[in-house]
Amino acid sequence: MILRSPSRLFPLPNAHHLSAHLRHSRMAHSSSPAPSTEFLDSLASNPKLQPDTWYLIAAATSVTLGKGASWIPAIYAHAVSPVGPAPAEATPSPPVFADDPLPRRRVVRRLKEALVKGAILHGVPHAIGASLALKDALVPGDRDDSFVREGYHLDGQNAARGYEALHRIYRDEMPLVGELKSAMRDVEWFSYNCTYGAFLAPISDTDPRAPLSIRETEMVVLSCLVALRAELEVKWHLRGSLWVGMPEEEVEAVQCAVEEVARECAGVDVRTGMPRVQEMVRLMKEKEAQKAAQKTE
């Protein structure tokens, strides 16, 4: 019996073919229209959203819905326009986000991190396509070479980082406990090591390279989950958003903004039948009342 080399049966693409494939893929996915300036203006001027968060919400939502190739370049251009022109030439990005002297590039770094964090939720292909679209759209002076996860490994330190981040969101309401935990050890492993340890955990108050805070990370997470209509996880992260310090009104504003972007970019309804923060506040109050009553018995 003659064994053939796998590369003979399935030839690996060379760099030219791979580059051509990526260009074709981006062209195929960029056929949907870009957002209008008027729509982006309405998001950016929303008084219920914190400054410089609208573009994180718009990016996470549009990429989740498969519209990143056409939306991300427009979101980038609109987000940096108030800051003024870019430098004529690219310069190295400092590792620490707060040390970056270029306001436009700080926007780019925040957008890039939103795409990376969203990858674990909406999928790696969407994240890669949107990241390539952003890279192609950048003017030279806005180019960013920072590496937030430099030195990260799937080790005990990474798992501890994931554990700490996960418990900031869920507190004592962890979903995997008891018999469910023992039956879903694979889910627990990737939750600590991948979902949180590698993707979501790098936040500005624990890692100076990270350009997003835990509240901004929750905005990205909630945007992806609402766009996916992931009802169970939306409940968890509506509550988690409150627990990391977002006021109820701001959480509602984020969810409403996601709904507007979803309707504008994909014509889909991600509102009907979905959980709301008001419902979670009511449930949390009921649970606290039950705990208080049990203590007095």
Render each residue's pLDDT in the chain as its tens digit; 297 residues.
333 333 333 344 454 444 444 444 444 444 579 999 999 999 999 999 999 999 999 999 999 999 999 999 999 999 999 999 999 999 999 999 999 999 999 999 999 999 999 999 999 999 999 999 999 999 999 999 999 999 999 899 999 999 999 889 998 887 776 777 778 889 888 888 999 999 999 999 999 999 999 999 999 999 999 999 999 999 999 999 999 999 999 999 999 999 999 999 999 999 999 999 999 999 999 988 888 888 887
* Same domain? 220 vs 264: yes
Q: Are 111 and 77 in contact (CB under 8 A)?
A: no
Calpha distance 202→67 (Å, rounded): 26
**The model's pTM:** 0.86
* Same domain? 31 vs 74: yes
* Same domain? 174 vs 116: no
* Same domain? 135 vs 255: yes
Domain that holds residue 280: 22-148+216-296
Q: Note every long-range contact of 50-53, with CB atoms under 8 Å and residues 24 or more positions apart, other chains counting.
A: 50/215, 50/250, 52/79, 52/107, 52/110, 53/216, 53/219, 53/254
Does the residue 220 lie in any domain? yes
Number of domains in the chain: 2
Please state, in angstroms and as integers, the Cα–Cα distance from residue 296 to each residue in 237, 282, 291, 293, following that order.
31, 21, 9, 5
Which amino acid appears at position 122 of this protein?
A: H
CATH of the domain at 281: 1.20.1290
Calpha distance 296→177 (Å, rounded): 26
* Same domain? 83 vs 174: no
